[in-house]
Structure 1
Amino acid sequence: MSARTLSALLFLCLVQVGRRGLASAPELREPPKKIAVIGAGIGGTAAAFFLRQEFGASVKIDVFESGSVGGRLATEDVGGHEYEMGGSILHPLNLHMKHFVDRLGLSARAEVPTKLAFFDGKELVFEESDWFIVNFLRMLWRYGLNSIRMHMWVEGILDKFMRIYQYQQFGYSFTSAEKMLHALGGDAFLSLLNQTLEEAMRSHGFSQAFINDVVTPISRFSYLQSVRLHALVGAVALSGTDSGLWAVDGGNKKVCSGLLYNSKAELISARVTSISLKTRPSKTGSVSSLYEVNYVGESGSAHSLYDIVIVATPLHQGLSDISFSGFSPPVPSHFPGRYHTTVSTLVQGVLNVSYFDPARAPGEFYVTDIFTTDKEELGVASVSAVNPVHIPPGHSRSPAGRSKVWRMFSNEPLSEEQLRTLFVSRERVLERRWLAYPSYRAPERRAPPFVLHQNLFYINSIEWAASSIEMNAVSARNVALLARHRWHGQTEKVDQEDLHARLRGEL
């Protein structure tokens, strides 16, 4: 047999296989005509981006936002430079955010060295050195191998969570956060929601001194909640001490505006007030469902009909007043649980170094981040020297004796007395109050589903497992896949178990 004949036979075989594949593939519906996304934070704008990928160029995507694009990703101007007020750091394993930055032509912000310390209200119980080996020996002397074991424990949890990127690459999606977590790591992974961070770490042999002095300050900095939050979100908090943390040059909110532009969605500056289920007969004689979105904008009240609706704002008291009508079973306007109040305060001024270390001269104090333990009575979870969202030429770490911008996280607004205690002098003070993330507990209540109705989806369900910029991007991808699968009646890639073993076999 000649090489040409063999090539022809191979080609015919491939054609026949392709025909059989096409013959067995389910016939897809026409794509939806209109999709609404409610909320233009990272979840909503990422959803618009992924929905465009899943449904193509013909679908009209409207994004409703009553405030600023970016949501909880926001900046404030101090002295002619912008500073992050909300979500400010990204992990090196945040693959969706890395993809967004590459796709949108953005870049990571230039790095400025940092120096961390933990404060118990009386003294600095630990302070970083500029030398890794010194930090290692200090931790080893005070806490044994607890620090190394903590990073290994967190890495084991992150390794399981990283499977979600492979699942989503192959088009798999989940109808609830619990089913997603179970697919990632089984019962053991899901059980992290049912025990506190402190309980989980104690069961793994971590010392109480290490938990009090190190783990608690990190948890308070990340979520303004102590080690009594559940273990999964606690592990996410601890991952914030890994090396390689980064941020977007110009501000993390630039990702949101970039995704919105890239998705070719229309931004509607309006507040959504209600979503109603409507039915109408189709050409085939069947009845189709549509969603009427009612909203109030500058021109007054209006409404539009949509085939698919994505809710990308928390449906909780104080964060949303959207009502739902015509649904059976009913869709609640507010799900159980509450969001935690976070006060972010920017101060341009000179830090009172003597409050943290009376023996230290201000010109010798180069600590940039001070995280506090539960013993700290002043009422601040952290005090951090923050850099502009774009690092100007010649910018470097300076001692606390010079005026610069500091950011405090606290549960309550800082009083004049508190500010006088923390600062020798102040040139400017800016404050923003957020309902930034859920108030976590263990065992955690069941999260709301991703699917509220046939083609009505809820992105912020994921926040009850853990709230972060990347978690909302993961949820947005999951919801976009769910929307596509449910629109076309494809169930084979929804809520599948044993995916890790299955995909490993396919590869």
Structure 2
Amino acid sequence: MSLRTLSINAFLLLGLCQVGRRGLASAPELTQQPKKIAIVGAGIGGTAAAYFLRQEFGPGVQINVYEAGTVGGRLATESIREYEYESGGSIIHPLNLHMKHFVDKLGLSPRADVPSKMAIFDGNELTFEESDWYIVNVLRMLWRYGFNFLRMHLWVESVLDKFMRIYQYQQFGYCFTSVERLLHAMGGDDFLSLLNLTLEETMLAGGFSQAFINDIVTPIARVNYGQSVRIGSFVGAVSLAGADSGLWAVDGGNKKVCSGLLYHSKADVIPARVTAISVKTRPAKRGAVTSFYEVNYVGESGPAHSLYDIVIVATPLHQDLSDISFSGFSPPIRSHFSGRYHQTVATLVLGQLNISYLGTGQKPSDFTFTDVLTTDNKSLAINSISSLDPTHIPPRYKQPPTSQTKVWKVFSPEPLTESQLSEMFVSREQVWERRWLAYPVYRTPQRQAPPFILHDRLFYLNAIEWAASAMEMSAIAARNAALLAHRRWHSQTDRVDQEDLHTRLRGEL
């Protein structure tokens, strides 16, 4: 057994052991638990926050989750014929320990594995075709790019090794007030530097060839984040991890994790749109003044409001994604932070693919590729085309051949026109379109991320997305927010923003 295997197993054990509730010993000046907590947003971040807050504060607190849309947020499915298909976040890495724990705790299971095969399209022809034989793929990579592919995996693994420290820190109750402090605790100055260099700059400095970056790395960045290798190196490493083996999804759809977390946390979902959050003060015993947060919302019965001890905002506070205003705060809280979110359009097509669009002379019956990624070609209207399998794989399921009608998912930066769809598909029975503002536009040098703490007991979970956007990143931010809420409620600062944790915890283990 290798040292890396031992390390991963140790972290896995720590990650899975975190379900045990820590002692809720409070500070002498505040012995009561909060009575009401509000969460704005029921995506993976908001629902994970409800789960972790229940762990931190116990059964007595009331947790309300406000959601104007559908539980799951950017985890969504589309019903096509008698099956459901993922139209939002679709893959989970084998080292995503929070997501793995959620699935185990909720009694869910991974979806049955279905074979896949990848090709890369440059706008004219398929420049790389994955073989059914592993050794053939290795030899092709060696012939074209030397050891670049192996070195890329080693680099991503080195980033993941440091990334995995966060599970240990959270297990011991450590939390962070900013994205930068959280990343620094994981990987020190090296991780912070990854925010300010592009993926291309980092890889060129590491000796990777430009051809390898253009031909292999760029298509991976385009399919995962809809952007080129000019994204930051940290999010670039997360993207490359999304090309690892062992990726999985939840049987029945990833959004089932969100509904399961709400059920397990016994949170009440309020179907309403939050319009404003303000701070209010009320006199307390012995002449003290107690502050609350007033959440104003519009539901089915019209405008209403409610007071809370703690509020967690789990939806992006950016233009076109939120219209929540903040009042009564000093210093003022911005309704919209700087930066913008990148649009990715997911078009699901029930039809027959026109493989000549991909520049191949193969017969449709011989075309066995399930995922076609693309290089950075301005003439290309798409980032990828993938054959979809149902969220639940029925017994004896077999992928339909490309010569038959089946479900395809096309990622593109803009909605596809009728002309473009006609060029890509020989026939179409139905077309579904979802326009996602799915993740930030990642540019370098990376501007400072929004803070996790907006006010004393008002927290902003989606700040984490400015480092990288992924299901597991949201779950990590949710755990961090719950720990921050607990620490600040009980005026405990000993495990907030601590430095040199990796060295310090050697004495605690």
Q: TM-score normalized by structure 1?
A: 0.94
Per the TM alignment, residue 125 of structure 1 is displaced from its structure 2 partner at its CA by: 1.1
Kindly report which structure 2 residues correspond to 1:291-302, keeping only aligned pairs within 5 A, or say none.
291-302=293-304
What is the CA–CA distance in structure 2 between the aligned matches of 1:135 and 1:101, rounded to whole Å?
33
Are 1:120 and 1:376, in contact at CA under 8 Å, matched by a contact in 2?
A: no
What is the CA–CA distance in structure 1 between the aligned matches of 2:74 and 2:360, rounded to whole Å?
37
1:278 aligns with 2:280: yes
1:416 maps to which of 412, 415, 418: 418
Per the TM alignment, residue 380 of structure 1 is displaced from its structure 2 partner at its CA by: 0.2
Partner residue, 1:225? 227
Which has the larger displacement, 32-41 or 123-132?
Answer: 123-132
Are 2:24 and 2:57, in contact at CA under 8 Å, matched by a contact in 1?
A: no
Q: What SS is found at the alignment partner of 1:267?
A: strand
Gaps of at least 5 residues in structure 1 are 1-20
Per the TM alignment, residue 25 of structure 1 is displaced from its structure 2 partner at its CA by: 7.6
Q: What SS is found at the alignment partner of 1:159?
A: helix
1:49 aligns with 2:51: yes
What is the CA–CA distance in structure 1 between the aligned matches of 2:400 and 2:152, rounded to whole Å?
31
Partner residue, 1:318? 320
Partner residue, 1:378? 380
Q: What SS is found at the alignment partner of 1:430?
A: strand
2:458 maps to which of 447, 456, 459: 456
Per the TM alignment, residue 141 of structure 1 is displaced from its structure 2 partner at its CA by: 0.6
Equivalent AA in structure 1 for residue 482 of structure 2: A
| Root-mean-square deviation over aligned CA pairs | 1.4
- Number of aligned residue pairs: 487
Are 1:366 and 1:397, in contact at CA under 8 Å, matched by a contact in 2?
A: no
1:159 aligns with 2:161: yes
Partner residue, 2:243? 241
Per the TM alignment, residue 309 of structure 1 is displaced from its structure 2 partner at its CA by: 0.3
Provide, for residues 80-105 of structure 1, a one-character-per-residue CA deviation record: whole Å limited to 9, x for no partner. 21100100000000100000000000
Per the TM alignment, residue 200 of structure 1 is displaced from its structure 2 partner at its CA by: 0.6
Sequence identity (%): 71
Partner residue, 2:365? 363
Partner residue, 2:191? 189
Kindly report which structure 2 residues correspond to 1:89-168, keeping only aligned pairs within 5 A, or say none.
89-168=91-170
1:466 maps to which of 468, 487, 500: 468
Per the TM alignment, residue 24 of structure 1 is displaced from its structure 2 partner at its CA by: 12
Partner residue, 1:264? 266
Partner residue, 2:68? 66
Change (3 A) 1:64 1:407: same
Q: What SS is found at the alignment partner of 1:505?
A: coil
What is the CA–CA distance in structure 1 between the aligned matches of 2:29 and 2:370, rounded to whole Å?
59
Kindly report which structure 2 residues correspond to 1:159-178, keeping only aligned pairs within 5 A, or say none.
159-178=161-180
Kindly report which structure 2 residues correspond to 1:425-436, keeping only aligned pairs within 5 A, or say none.
425-436=427-438
Per the TM alignment, residue 27 of structure 1 is displaced from its structure 2 partner at its CA by: 6.3
Partner residue, 2:3? none
Per the TM alignment, residue 246 of structure 1 is displaced from its structure 2 partner at its CA by: 0.2
Are 1:121 and 1:376, in contact at CA under 8 Å, matched by a contact in 2?
A: no
Equivalent AA in structure 2 for residue 174 of structure 1: F
Equivalent AA in structure 1 for residue 251 of structure 2: D
Equivalent AA in structure 1 for residue 132 of structure 2: D
Are 2:345 and 2:433, in contact at CA under 8 Å, matched by a contact in 1?
A: yes
Equivalent AA in structure 2 for residue 412 of structure 1: E
Gaps of at least 5 residues in structure 2 are 1-22
1:332 aligns with 2:334: yes
Provide, for residues 200-251 of structure 1, a one-character-per-residue CA deviation record: whole Å limited to 9, x for no partner. 1000000000000000000000010000110000111111111110000000
Are 2:26 and 2:490, in contact at CA under 8 Å, matched by a contact in 1?
A: no
Provide, for residues 66-125 of structure 1, a one-character-per-residue CA deviation record: whole Å limited to 9, x for no partner. 000000000001112110010000000010000000000000000000001111011111
Equivalent AA in structure 2 for residue 310 of structure 1: I
Which has the larger displacement, 276-285 or 177-186?
Answer: 276-285
Partner residue, 2:308? 306
Of the two, which has the highest radius of gyration? 1
Per the TM alignment, residue 503 of structure 1 is displaced from its structure 2 partner at its CA by: 0.7
Q: What SS is found at the alignment partner of 1:493?
A: coil
Are 1:119 and 1:376, in contact at CA under 8 Å, matched by a contact in 2?
A: no
Per the TM alignment, residue 421 of structure 1 is displaced from its structure 2 partner at its CA by: 1.2
What is the CA–CA distance in structure 2 between the aligned matches of 1:271 and 1:355, rounded to whole Å?
43
Are 2:346 and 2:412, in contact at CA under 8 Å, matched by a contact in 1?
A: yes
Partner residue, 2:9? none
Are 2:175 and 2:484, in contact at CA under 8 Å, matched by a contact in 1?
A: yes
